[in-house]
Amino acid sequence: MQRHAAIWITGAFRTSPSGGAESIAGLIPIHLHLCKLAIRSSYQVSTLPSNHALQSLLSDKFSLNSSPHPQSLRFLTLAKKAKVKGPIIDVDNSLSHLSDSFSPFSSESKPGSHLMDIYPDSIHFHPCNRLDKHKTYKHVSSLNSVFSSSSSNRNCISVVTDASVPLVGSLQAVLVAHLYRGRRQVSHAKQASGQASSTDAELYSIRIGIAKAISLQCDHIILITDCLPAAKLAVDPSIHSSQSQSIQVCQLLSNWLATKPSCSINFWDVPSKWHWKPHLKVHNDITSTSIHAPSHTGATLDFLQHKSTNDCQKSWESTFWKKKYRGNGFLLSKKNHKFLIPTYIKGGMWLPLTNESPSLCACMTWAILNHALIGAYRERFFPLKPKSCGCGHRLETQHHILCYCPLHPIRTQWVQCAFPQYEFLVEFLKKNPATFTFTNHDTHPPPLQAPVPAKPNEGELYSFISSLLFSLESDLYV
Ligand SMILES: [Zn+2]
């Protein structure tokens, strides 16, 4: 089914290699996609309430004090558990890597008890439009003036937070909060948070920043972060990765806002690229710190789900490097001096440059897969038909057309490389629209689809059976 979709998207032939067409179309092999969904859903079991049927089947550690089912993993010895295979065992093993805990029915997430519903006038967000430089400049200027004016207010505390997620697996995510009162830094907090996604780590830093600010006695908090989505998650007690941190923030702010009606908190977004001075200081503080993770450090839900997605993507990449998958004639190309590798994000790597025209997309697919109506194709499937190039070359091949053929003079040196730059290859196909197309050297109208080489005798077999039936019928009539 996926093969049909890939052929429909790219315009490839019915005989073209599935792997190559899938890679160009940005469709991950279905078994990898299912594997990703299965792993990601196994982590979701941790978000179920304790009275859910699945919880009664899990081992002691993850059953949330639910009464055990007679077939529960709790009754299996370690030796037996090692021998059993199945989805419940997979879920139990997956949950052992998770550090998050979830409360589906916490009092803060009940309808009518949401922090944002109770104190809508006391909590404000100031997003920054990062796509527009002028608007960003105005936003940072406003933040500057707010930060300066807050220095005269002794009841106001400014909190600047940041977090770093190391690329090295043996290190933990680190989060920092610097607290200012009257332009003077009065406190700071730094903590490790195990293996966490960047949004989770930013959420942790916001939680410790708010907790510290409230402990310092103030009526107004200005929290400055470079990740406003994390700030919005911090006041959202519904189920999500690091929900426990959000519930703590909701409890802290709820108690604090209840003490005085004048209390308020403002979340300001600041792009880290603008190197706003107090934020740059936090950023430098955090990047100079690295904390090693002890063995068996837990990870957040978001981190584990991202990891499963990345693992499936890496499996696809390693499969792509096998010629058997992508096809023997697949033309490897480069972008910014790196090989194009398949991905399903943002329409894949090949399609975005050719989405202006379906015929260009089909032409690009034929050129890359080396499955086009050229001499090399005729030599393989129609050996009696001419296979030489219109320029007089003995055999019209993909390499000849791209590198040497004088019939297609508009080319750049990058197309002539063994691994051409992809954008130049597309440019070449745009400037030479007759290449790799049916009308190239064919006087006959093009066939709708290429013949299937694996079933050459199908027609003969069919005609043989038909003739047999016909002769049987005529025998009967006689
Ligand atoms: Zn030629």
Q: Tens of pLDDT along the chain (478 residues)?
A: 888 999 999 988 888 899 999 999 999 999 999 999 999 999 999 999 888 988 889 888 887 777 888 888 888 888 888 888 888 999 988 998 898 889 989 999 898 899 999 999 999 999 999 899 999 999 999 999 999 888 888 889 999 999 999 887 788 899 999 999 987 899 989 999 888 999 999 999 999 999 999 999 899 999 999 999 999 999 999 999 999 999 999 999 999 999 988 899 999 999 988 899 999 999 999 888 888 888 778 899 999 999 999 999 999 999 999 999 998 889 898 888 889 999 998 888 999 888 888 889 998 999 899 888 888 888 888 888 888 888 888 888 888 888 888 888 777 666 667 788 888 888 888 888 878 876 544 444 444 444 444 443 444 433 434 443 334 344 433 3
3 CA to middle of ligand 1, Å?
A: 32
User: CA 455 from chain center: how many Å?
Assistant: 40
**Angle subtended by helix axes 30-44 and 301-320, to nearest 10:** 170
Contact (Cβ atoms closer than 8 angstroms) between residue 365 and residue 21: yes
447 CA to middle of ligand 1, Å?
A: 23
Nearest to residue 420, comparing CAs of 314, 330, 342?
Answer: 330
392 CA to middle of ligand 1, Å?
A: 6
CA–CA separation, 431 vs 409, rounded Å?
Answer: 9
359 CA to middle of ligand 1, Å?
A: 22
What does the CA dihedral 296, 300, 303, 305 come to, rounded to 10 degrees?
Answer: 100
402 CA to middle of ligand 1, Å?
A: 9
CA–CA separation, 220 vs 147, rounded Å?
Answer: 12
Give, for 177, the enclosing helix (H) or strand (E): strand 174-181
143 CA to middle of ligand 1, Å?
A: 64
**Helices marked H in 291-421:** 301-320, 323-326, 358-369, 375-381, 398-403
296 CA to middle of ligand 1, Å?
A: 62
Helix (H, G, I), strand (E, B) or coil at 171: strand
400 CA to middle of ligand 1, Å?
A: 6
50 CA to middle of ligand 1, Å?
A: 71
In Å, how far are 158, 177, 205, 270, 285 from 161, measured between CA atoms? 10, 4, 6, 10, 11
404 CA to middle of ligand 1, Å?
A: 7
Q: What is the pTM of this model?
A: 0.79
pLDDT reported for residue 77: 87
pLDDT reported for residue 169: 73
300 CA to middle of ligand 1, Å?
A: 58
444 CA to middle of ligand 1, Å?
A: 20
pLDDT reported for residue 247: 96
355 CA to middle of ligand 1, Å?
A: 28
Can you give the length of the chain in residues? 478
Give, for 388, the enclosing helix (H) or strand (E): none
420 CA to middle of ligand 1, Å?
A: 19
Q: Residues within 5 Å of ion ligand 1 by Cβ?
A: 389, 391, 393, 405
10 CA to middle of ligand 1, Å?
A: 26
411 CA to middle of ligand 1, Å?
A: 13
Q: Which residue has the tokens 């100031």?
A: 126
pLDDT reported for residue 126: 95
403 CA to middle of ligand 1, Å?
A: 9
Across-strand partners of 158?
A: 180, 222
438 CA to middle of ligand 1, Å?
A: 15
381 CA to middle of ligand 1, Å?
A: 20
The C-alpha angle with vertex 298 and arms to 294 and 301, in degrees rounded to 5, equals: 150
CA–CA separation, 253 vs 235, rounded Å?
Answer: 9
pLDDT reported for residue 33: 94
391 CA to middle of ligand 1, Å?
A: 4
401 CA to middle of ligand 1, Å?
A: 6
393 CA to middle of ligand 1, Å?
A: 6
pLDDT reported for residue 449: 46
pLDDT reported for residue 413: 66
CA–CA separation, 417 vs 402, rounded Å?
Answer: 9
CA–CA separation, 403 vs 416, rounded Å?
Answer: 5
Question: Would you state the structure tokens that stand for residue 246, as one six-digit string?
Answer: 């959000």
388 CA to middle of ligand 1, Å?
A: 8
452 CA to middle of ligand 1, Å?
A: 27
23 CA to middle of ligand 1, Å?
A: 29
136 CA to middle of ligand 1, Å?
A: 54
Question: Would you state the structure tokens that stand for residue 296, as one six-digit string?
Answer: 């068996």
